[in-house]
Amino acid sequence: MSERATRLLHLLDELRRRRNPVRGAQLAEQLGVSLRTLYRDIDALRGQGADIGGDPGVGYQLRGGFLLPQMMFSAEELEAIVLGVRWVASHADPDLAAAAGAALDRVTGVLPENLRLQVETSGLYAPQWHPTEPEPWLPALRRAIRAGHAVRIHYRDAEDRASERVIWPFAMAFLAEVRLLAAWCEMRGDFRHFRADRVLALHDTGQCYPEQRHRLLKRWGEQRRQRKALAADC
């Protein structure tokens, strides 16, 4: 999603939360944009069908209805969404947990009243995860995976051996007790797995690694299948 599209969604979220008109200057400050940009965004949303009342100096309010068509889900689909979001909120880093909550709010905001009530009164919950060691690198690792950036890490393995290496992170598994990172290790010239809680320090180089992430995922998957096949033959 482009930066502008994300900004427009955030503006819609802000307007949807307000029960009374809100001044443009307040919205602009909340969204971190200039007042001129805010006015342009209001016009863009109106052009796409959002019924936004108000004018500069008076305030703006999103009237009944919503820009997007109502979403329809089965009972099982809604339960899966709620449980999945609650699992992320209780097991992920604070940034991802907040994003999960915002995503559920956005989905709930466009549901019909009966389905919205079903979400709000859902009895499905995920247990809170309490790591024994903090994992401050999760947001940086997620961003590096998303951007395809090489990162330099200081790492301590299971044998308590410290090392410094440059890796190409391309996947992360949120397991029950650990967060496991899959990456190409320049030092080893091969795929390696790293536990996020054993990363001592991390620096995003800002440089894109030379291979596309989907190709790394494909090669990694092929290597894992080959190793399983060899193990089965032994």
Asked whether the beta carbons of 186 and 169 are under 8 A apart, the reply is: no
- The answer to whether position 171 is within a domain reads yes
Question: What pLDDT sits at residue 152?
Answer: 97
Write out the DSSP string of 61-105.
Answer: EE-SS-SSPPP---HHHHHHHHHHHHHHHHHS-HHHHHHHHHHHH
* Separation between Cα atoms, residue 105 and residue 82, nearest integer Å: 11
| pLDDT (0 to 100) of residue 131 | 61
- What is the distance between the alpha carbons of residues 81 and 90, in angstroms, rounded to a whole number? 14
Q: Please tell me what DSSP assigns to residue 110.
A: T
Which pLDDT value is given to residue 121? 86
Looking at 29, 62, 95, the residue that finishes a domain is 62
Q: Is residue 153 a contact partner of residue 138, using CB atoms and an 8 Å limit?
A: no
Per the domain annotation, does 70 fall within a domain?
Answer: no
Q: State the 10-residue block means of pLDDT for the chain, 234 residues long.
A: 75 82 90 91 86 85 62 76 89 87 81 78 79 75 94 94 96 88 96 93 95 94 86 65
Residue numbers of the domain that contains 37: 3-62
* Domain count for the chain: 3
Phi, psi dihedral angles at 90 (to 5 degrees): -95, -15
pLDDT at 67: 45
Task: Tell whether 69 is covered by a domain.
Answer: no
- Beta carbons of 103 and 85 less than 8 angstroms apart: yes
Assigned domain for 130 exists: no
The pLDDT value recorded for residue 125 is 84
Other C-beta atoms lying within 10 Å of the C-beta of residue 194: 21
Is 209 within 8 Å of 184 (Cβ atoms)? yes
Tell me if 28 is assigned to some domain: yes
Can you give the CATH number for the domain in which 203 is found? 2.30.30
Return the pLDDT at 195: 93
**CB neighbours (10 Å) of residue 65?**
11
Cα separations in angstroms, 141 against 48, 72, 86, 90, 219: 36, 34, 22, 19, 20
Rg (CA), the chain: 23
- 226 and 144: one domain? yes
Is position 220 within any domain? Answer: yes
